[in-house]
């Protein structure tokens, strides 16, 4: 029996070496990294990370766009985005990576990593008061796939966990809050704020001085802490520095920044109470993600629905 021709996959990435992705996608599909000029009819699917703006607009047979990451702001910001389904990453290994990052940062702030590293540098032996996890409230802003996976691990460690989302997602053992109207209540009972929101027009710059000021500072860990592993565009960076300087924030861990790589002159690099990682909280791994993408392409070719679809109106 003659097999139906599979269309080609366009892989368009910026900022990392795509060889592994090409190898793995090539197991089932022909892969190109640039479309032929003049609207390439051979391309069925695009797999992208920060593709050049307008690149996808001229592809007449494009069926769907696959994001290499959980976040799709790099796709939705294309003003010439074709009207085809956009699929994002939801994967156990990504959730596991994010859970590890958040648990690591929460534990470090809670168990006074900043203070003990400073003491070690000065050969100071001074045991500090210790707060039980059950007295520390971790508030997760953005309570979706990654937020909920992270919440499960924090609950297991004994923390009090709160979750804030747009539509109100429930989870056993977690106090949940929905929408703008409940943001104040969510913040005022949160000691450690974990930001796992997508970047959309509604969340742009949401982490500003006014928001940080509403966190609970009079608490078991001696101040409010910010952890942002969502997107840099969620934060107003001068406001975070101001909050760190004037004590509104005790400490911060930031994995994402407005400009990446973080410029050498940024004060975050040298701030004694800021912990910086290079957008490394949860890396997309081709070995785990490509099989899921290929399975989706085959299913869609058979007329079955795609899953993990982006809601274009909500922008995530």
Residues that bind ligand NDP (CB under 6 A): 69-71, 90, 142-147, 165-167, 169, 196-200, 202-203, 229-231, 255-256, 279, 281-282, 316
Residue 35 contact, options ligand OXD, ligand NDP, none, Cβ 5-8 Å cut-off depending on partner type: none
Residue 127 to residue 122: CA distance in whole angstroms: 14
Considering the complex, what minimum distance in angstroms separates the CB of residue 169 from ligand NDP? 5
Q: Which is nearer to ligand NDP, 111 or 279 (CB)?
A: 279
Residue 232 to residue 63: CA distance in whole angstroms: 30
Q: Which is nearer to ligand NDP, 197 or 297 (CB)?
A: 197
CB contact set of 138 (below 8 Å; sequence gap of 6+): 106, 154, 159, 160, 161, 162, 190, 191, 192, 194
Q: Which is nearer to ligand OXD, 69 or 142 (CB)?
A: 69
Strand partners, 49: 13
Residue 145 contact, options ligand NDP, ligand OXD, none, Cβ 5-8 Å cut-off depending on partner type: ligand NDP
Residue 196 contact, options ligand OXD, ligand NDP, none, Cβ 5-8 Å cut-off depending on partner type: ligand NDP
Q: Which is nearer to ligand NDP, 112 or 190 (CB)?
A: 190
Considering the complex, what minimum distance in angstroms separates the CB of residue 101 from ligand OXD? 11
Residue 9 contact, options ligand NDP, ligand OXD, none, Cβ 5-8 Å cut-off depending on partner type: none
Strand partners, 18: none
Residue 41 to residue 104: CA distance in whole angstroms: 47
Examine the residue annotation and report whether 109 is marked as an active-site residue of this protein. no
Residue 202 contact, options ligand NDP, ligand OXD, none, Cβ 5-8 Å cut-off depending on partner type: ligand NDP
List contacts with ligand OXD (CB under 6 A): 69-71, 89, 284
Considering the complex, what minimum distance in angstroms separates the CB of residue 290 from ligand NDP? 17
Considering the complex, what minimum distance in angstroms separates the CB of residue 292 from ligand NDP? 14
Active-site position among 162, 199, 231, 273: 231
Phi first, then psi, for residue 304 (nearest 5°) are -85, 160
CB closest to ligand NDP, residue no: 144
Examine the residue annotation and report whether 279 is marked as an active-site residue of this protein. yes
Considering the complex, what minimum distance in angstroms separates the CB of residue 227 from ligand OXD? 15
CB 135, CB 109: distance < 8 Å = no
Q: Which residues are catalytic?
A: 231, 279
């Amino acid at each position: 029996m003659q097999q139906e021709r599979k269309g080609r996959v366009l892989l368009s990435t910026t900022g990392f070496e795509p060889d592994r992705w090409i190898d793995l996608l090539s197991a089932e599909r022909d892969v190109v990294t640039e479309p032929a000029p003049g609207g390439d009819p051979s391309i069925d699917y695009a797999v992208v990370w920060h593709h050049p703006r307008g690149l996808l607009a001229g592809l007449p047979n494009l069926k769907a766009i696959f994001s290499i990451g959980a976040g799709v702001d790099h796709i939705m910001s294309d003003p010439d985005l074709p009207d085809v389904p956009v699929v994002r990453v939801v994967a156990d290994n990504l959730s596991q990576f994010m859970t590890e990052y958040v648990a690591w940062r929460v534990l470090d702030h809670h168990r006074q990593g900043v203070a003990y590293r400073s003491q070690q540098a000065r050969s100071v032996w001074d045991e500090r008061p210790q707060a039980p996890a059950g007295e520390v409230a971790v508030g997760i802003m953005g309570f979706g796939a990654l937020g909920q996976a992270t919440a499960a691990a924090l609950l297991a460690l004994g923390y009090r966990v709160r979750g804030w989302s747009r539509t109100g997602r429930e989870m056993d053992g977690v106090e949940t809050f929905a929408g703008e109207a409940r943001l104040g209540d969510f913040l005022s009972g949160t000691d450690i704020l974990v930001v796992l929101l997508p970047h959309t027009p509604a969340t742009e710059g949401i982490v500003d001085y006014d928001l940080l000021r509403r966190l609970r500072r009079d608490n078991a860990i001696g101040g409010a802490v910010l952890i942002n592993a969502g997107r840099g565009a969620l934060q107003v960076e001068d406001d975070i520095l101001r909050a760190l300087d004037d004590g509104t924030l005790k400490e911060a861990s930031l994995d994402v920044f407005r400009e990446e790589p973080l410029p050498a002159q940024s004060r975050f690099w040298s701030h004694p109470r800021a912990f910086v990682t290079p957008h490394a909280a949860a890396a997309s791994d081709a070995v785990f993600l490509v099989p899921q993408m290929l399975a989706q392409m085959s299913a869609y070719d058979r007329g079955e629905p795609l899953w993990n679809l982006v809601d274009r109106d909500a922008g995530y």
